[in-house]
Amino acid sequence: MVESTKNTTKRFIIKALLVLGAILATYEITVYSLVVSQGDQAVSELSSMDYLPAVRDADDEVEINFQVTGIDAIKEYATIEYNLRLFGIWGFLEADNVSTATVTKDFSVQISASGYGRDPANSIASELKLLDGQRVGGFEAPVSLYPCSDLKGTGDPSKSSSVYPLDAYCFDVIANTYALDGAGKHDSSASPPITWLYHYGSGLDGYTITFERIPYFTDPETDACYDWAQKADSGFPCSISEDASAGYSRVRGRIERASVVQVFTWVVLGMIILAAGCAILMTISVLSRSTAPALEGLAFLAALLFAVQPLRGALPDAPPVGIQSDVLLFYPAILSILTCLAIQVGLWVRRGPGRQG
């Protein structure tokens, strides 16, 4: 009899280890395939970000380097760091390894980082007037993020800020330069600097950022140049090459959570669902009289109730309460555990004489 019990226990342990191994193997295969299929590269640049030969070979040029230094996807803004590099008649670098340049001809640069719903061409976040002999380095400016689903042809229209962790955000980095006259006014008779936005950062952990260069006067709703810019006599450029020679440059960025971050988020949400499932199974067992109500069970349910909230707080970026995953998963889990606790408390109070617990 004892030997039979030992064999049964041994078989149970072996089965449990096999099930655990199968679960871990499935997890590893799933995560690996997800990372390989989606990629985990912090920064991805489309072919439109490549230098145009006309810009690369230009002697007189204003290059505006930028990188994303901070992202707050919940508050929907990011921080962009800029650095100016001047060539030819517009200025020169102090040294190849120094990010400070000296201006040799007066010009102005307008930097805009606007979100959808405002006209990026007319939304100037900051303007720098740079005069002959002035030294210029880098500066930071905020950029508003907006759900990429607001743009035509950018993927699943349900991918808005509420579908955490599948949310995706876009932003526009825009530059406009023009020459200044002796009075510091816009000199419309002088050719503007050839302008080029160039990304040089390595990205941020936990996010995947994709950059693409688009024409300056692009309509966000159609992803095409504005109707009035397409007219031959409009005087407005309508291509990337024309933008550069006219002193314009525009880059669109797309921010998504890295695949490993998404996997971690789903694991945490799965733990919350598992906690609710355990509470329901325990309560079913008590209701079916397979198990008597006991204080240990009540303590376990109470611990589950207070444990799921810290689990939710461990989600990346700690999103505010009210996102879609809360409505679909977190709220039902809390209600399930609370209901099971109330049911078992009632059963424990009404337990018959002689029942232990």
DSSP string, 228-247: GGSSTTS----SHHHHHHTT
Give the span between the Cα atoms of 103 and 129, in whole angstroms: 11
Could you tell me if 142 and 220 lie in one domain?
yes
Within 10 angstroms of residue 220's Cβ, the number of other Cβ atoms is: 20
Same domain, 127 and 242: yes
Task: Let me know if residue 200 belongs to a domain.
Answer: yes
- Spatial separation of the C-alpha atoms in residues 147 and 162, rounded to whole Å: 9
| CA distance to 35, 191, 193, 244, per residue, from 247 (Å) | 40, 9, 5, 5
Q: Which residue, among 191, 188, 234, has the nearest Cα to 215 in the 3D structure?
A: 234
Assess whether 250 and 314 both reside in one domain: no
Whether 155 is in a domain gets the answer yes
Indicate if 99 and 198 belong to the same structural domain.
yes
Burial of 228 (0-12, 13-18, 19+ CB in 10 A): exposed
Query: Is the separation of the CB atoms in 109 and 179 below 8 Å?
Result: no
Quick one: pLDDT at residue 150? 55
Say if 244 falls within a structural domain: yes
Query: What is the residue range of 306's domain?
Result: 21-33+261-349
The residue from 257, 285, 312 where one domain ends is 257
pLDDT in tens, the chain (357 residues): 556 666 677 776 777 777 777 776 776 666 666 555 555 568 889 999 999 988 888 899 999 999 999 988 877 788 999 999 999 999 998 776 667 889 999 999 988 765 544 444 445 567 889 999 999 888 888 887 877 765 554 545 555 666 788 888 888 888 889 999 888 888 888 999 999 999 998 888 889 999 999 998 887 667 788 888 888 777 788 889 999 999 999 998 888 888 888 888 888 998 999 999 999 999 998 888 877 888 888 899 999 988 898 888 888 887 877 788 888 889 999 999 999 999 999 888 887 555 554
How far from the centroid of its chain's Cα atoms is residue 248's Cα? 27
Residue 282 within a domain: yes
- Give the domain-ending residue among 257, 281, 303: 257
The answer to whether position 60 is within a domain reads: yes
Number of domains in the chain: 2
- Kindly state whether residues 299 and 158 are assigned to the same domain: no
Residues 213 and 301 in one domain: no
CA gap 334, 331 in Å, rounded: 5
β strands within 180-299, DSSP E: 194-199, 207-213, 218-219, 224-225, 248-257
Q: What is the pTM of this model?
A: 0.77
- CA atoms of 9 and 346, how far apart (whole Å): 35
Q: Which residue has the tokens 């996997």?
A: 263
> Do 290 and 164 fall within a single domain?
no
Do both 269 and 234 map to the same domain? no
**Does residue 357 belong to any structural domain of this protein?**
no
Let me know whether 69 and 175 are in one domain: yes
Please state, in angstroms and rounded to a whole number, the distance separating the CA atoms of residues 219 and 34.
Answer: 34
Predicted pLDDT at 118:
44
Single-letter code of the amino acid located at 289: R
Asked if residue 151 belongs to a domain, the reply is yes
* Residue 100, in any domain of the structure: yes
What was the pLDDT predicted at 213? Answer: 93
Q: Are residues 126 and 269 in the same domain?
A: no
Strand partners, 208: 256
CA distances from 173 to 159, 213, 215 (A): 22, 10, 12
Last residue of a domain, one of 257, 291, 310: 257
Angle at 310 between CA 306 and CA 312, to 5 degrees: 115
Residues 249 and 265 in one domain: no
Local structure of 293: helix, strand or coil = coil
Measured CA to CA, the distance from residue 274 to residue 278 in angstroms comes to: 6
Q: Determine which helix (DSSP H) or strand (DSSP E) holds 35, and give its type and residue range.
A: helix 2-38
Examine the domain organization and report whether 266 and 174 are in the same domain: no
